[in-house]
């Protein structure tokens, strides 16, 4: 092989080597880019996993906090319901001692007095019999509700007057209001000694007229039973507790 042929051979070989090297560089570059892409994807996935874990932990902590709140709320409900049932039991026991005629709702503690016991027909002034009856009834009732045991829980004592559907609607409403007010005034004038401040805070009177009649089993109004005076009590934060109870039931 002469010099020209040898030189041409090495030039061609050099070009080939450069070409192979360029291909190698391109392949290496592509591999590096792909590797960097995979590394970035792995980093992104790891970051996403960390964020997901963080969110999951936050959700777990929030669920745990909510669970503890529910436990606390349930305990409040149970405690309050325990107070109500205990109070109702004390009232029943107190009135059973002397056999005084009162009707106590075993669930709410509402206490019903037939109006003919304390009022005359269509009258809003207490009868002599009514004053005598209340003189015996009121000290027992207030003695339980405003006792050291229960007074901190009692937020309201309501005296409600009710009428039957006999007569004109608004006359009955006025009559029921006047009767409730008459009983309330009697309590404040005669049984507020030592507890006037508390009574002024919690004692209210309202007339319901004909709007809450007592019905018989066949759905017909019991007009005698509808004419009544009702004593009710409410406990502290009862409205809030009822809402909590609704939420707990919904869950």
Structure tokens at 93: 């026991």
Contact 176, 244 (CB under 8 A): no
pLDDT at 15: 59
Does pTM surpass 0.85? no
pLDDT at 9: 47
Q: For 97-228, where are the alpha helices, taking DSSP H only?
A: 115-118, 128-145, 169-190, 196-202, 223-226
Domains of the chain: 1-251 (3.30.1330.60)
Of residues 234, 93, 247, 68, the one with CA closest to residue 160: 234
pLDDT at 79: 67
Residue 243 sits at φ, ψ, to 5 deg, of: -65, -40
**DSSP per residue, 62-113:** HHHHHHHHHHHHHHHHHHHHHHHHHHHHHHHHHHHTTT---EE-TTT--EEE
pLDDT at 158: 96
Distance CA 162, CA 177 (A): 8
pLDDT at 2: 52
pLDDT at 233: 95
DSSP H or E run through 235: strand 228-235
Tell me which DSSP letter residue 152 carries. G
pLDDT at 35: 81
Residue by residue, pLDDT tens for the chain (251 residues) are: 555 555 554 455 555 555 656 776 677 777 778 788 888 888 888 888 888 788 878 877 877 787 787 777 777 766 666 888 999 999 999 988 867 767 899 999 999 987 888 888 888 999 999 999 999 999 999 999 999 999 989 999 999 999 888 889 899 899 999 999 999 999 999 987 778 888 888 999 999 988 888 898 888 988 888 888 999 999 887 666 766 667 667 65
**Dihedral (Cα; 232, 234, 235, 239), 10-degree rounding:** 150
pLDDT at 89: 94
Residue 17, judged by CB atoms within 10 A of its CB (0-12, 13-18, 19+), counts as exposed
Of residues 133, 130, 92, 85, the one with CA closest to residue 111: 92
């Amino acid at each position: 092989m002469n010099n020209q042929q040898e030189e041409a051979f090495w030039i061609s070989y050099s070009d080939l080597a450069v070409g192979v090297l360029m291909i190698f560089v391109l392949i290496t570059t592509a591999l590096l880019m792909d590797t960097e892409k995979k590394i970035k994807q792995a980093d992104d996935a790891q970051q996403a996993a960390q964020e997901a874990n963080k969110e999951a932990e936050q959700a777990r902590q929030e669920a745990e906090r909510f669970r503890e709140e529910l436990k606390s709320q349930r305990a409040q409900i149970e405690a309050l319901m325990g107070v109500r049932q205990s109070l109702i039991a004390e009232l029943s026991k107190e009135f059973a001692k002397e056999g005084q005629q009162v009707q106590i709702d075993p669930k709410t503690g509402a206490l019903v007095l037939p109006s003919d016991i304390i009022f005359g027909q269509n009258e809003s002034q207490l009868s002599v019999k009514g004053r005598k009856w209340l003189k015996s009834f009121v000290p027992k009732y207030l003695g339980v509700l405003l006792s050291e045991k229960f007074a901190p829980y009692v937020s309201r004592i309501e005296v409600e007057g009710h009428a039957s559907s006999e007569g004109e609607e608004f006359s009955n409403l006025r009559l029921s209001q006047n009767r409730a007010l008459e009983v309330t005034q009697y309590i404040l004038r005669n049984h507020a000694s030592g507890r006037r401040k508390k009574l002024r805070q919690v004692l209210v009177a309202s007339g319901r007229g004909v709007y809450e009649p007592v019905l018989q089993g066949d759905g017909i109004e019991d007009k005698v039973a509808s004419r009544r005076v009702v004593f009710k009590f409410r406990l502290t934060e009862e409205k809030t507790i009822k809402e909590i109870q609704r939420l707990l039931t919904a869950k």
